[in-house]
Chain A
Amino acid sequence: DAGVTQSPTHLIKTRGQQVTLRCSPKSGHDTVSWYQQALGQGPQFIFQYYEEEERQRGNFPDRFSGHQFPNYSSELNVNALLLGDSALYLCASSPLQGDTGELFFGEGSRLTVL
Chain B
Amino acid sequence: AQSVAQPEDQVNVAEGNPLTVKCTYSVSGNPYLFWYVQYPNRGLQFLLKYITGDNLVKGSYGFEAEFNKSQTSFHLKKPSALVSDSALYFCAVNGGGFKTIFGAGTRLFVKA
Which residues of A are in contact with B by a Cβ distance under 8 Å? 4, 33, 35, 41-45, 48, 50, 55-56, 58, 90, 92, 99-108, 110
Contacts and interface: CB of A to CB of B under 8 A. Distances in A.
21 contacts: A33-B100, A41-B104, A42-B90, A42-B103, A42-B105, A43-B90, A43-B102, A48-B99, A56-B99, A92-B44, A99-B97, A100-B94, A101-B49, A102-B34, A103-B36, A103-B46, A105-B36, A105-B43, A106-B43, A107-B43, A108-B43
By secondary structure, the B interface counts as strand
By Cβ-Cβ distance, the 4 closest A-B pairs, closest first, are A105-B43, A42-B102, A100-B32, A102-B46
A57 to B, nearest CB: 9
B44 A105 contact: yes
Interface of B: 4, 32, 34, 36, 41-46, 49, 51, 90, 94, 96-105
A4 B43 contact: yes
